Structures are given as C-alpha cells and as structure tokens.
Amino acid sequence: MFRRAAGRGWLRQQFVPSLGASSVAVLSGRDAPAGAWRTDPGWRRLVAIHRLDHLDAADSAALLAPTLVTEIR
C-alpha cells in the first residue's frame, strides 16, 4: 500500500510538504525516485539524490551491529 501511495505522488505532493520548513526527509528505495522529484521546479532545487552501491558483507555487518542483528541471510 505504501509503495502504491508513493507511486501516485503522495509522498511528493502531500506527505513531505506537510512537514515543517526546518524538517529534513530522507527517502530511500531500490528504484530511483520518480522523474517529478528531479524535474518539478519546486522540488528540483530542494532534492539531492545519491546513488548507493551494494554493501559487502563487512560493511553490512558494521551497519547492522548497533541494531543487534547478528545473522545476515
């Protein structure tokens, strides 16, 4: 359901704008953000998109260690 709402622009059109002006929203996903995040004149100057590559086993373990997750499948 969340993915469908995000796909329809709900995040960009309703949720993020409802946050306070001093808020910072970090969105992540497997797919690149919709083109509207990059092409809309209002969002284009506010959004920074960063591609993250796959983590190797050591980096994954270091990232998960503080969460007490001990088994990586």
Average confidence (pLDDT) over 54-70: 82
Radius of gyration (C-alpha) of the chain in whole angstroms: 16
* pLDDT for the residue 62: 85
pTM assigned to the model: 0.58
Of the candidates 33, 26, 38, the one whose C-alpha atom is nearest the C-alpha of residue 6 is 33
* pLDDT for the residue 69: 67
Domain ranges of the chain: 2-67
Question: What's CA 72's distance to the chain center, in Å?
Answer: 22
Pick from 34-38, 49-53, 60-64, 67-71: least confident: 67-71
Task: Please answer whether residues 31 and 21 qualify as being in contact, where contact means their C-beta atoms are separated by less than 8 angstroms.
Answer: no
Residues with Cβ within 8 Å of 47's Cβ and at least 6 positions away in sequence, in order, are: 33, 37, 38
Task: Please answer whether residues 48 and 33 qualify as being in contact, where contact means their C-beta atoms are separated by less than 8 angstroms.
Answer: no
Q: What is the pLDDT of residues 12-58, one digit of tens each?
A: 889 999 998 888 888 877 788 888 888 989 888 888 888 878 888 88
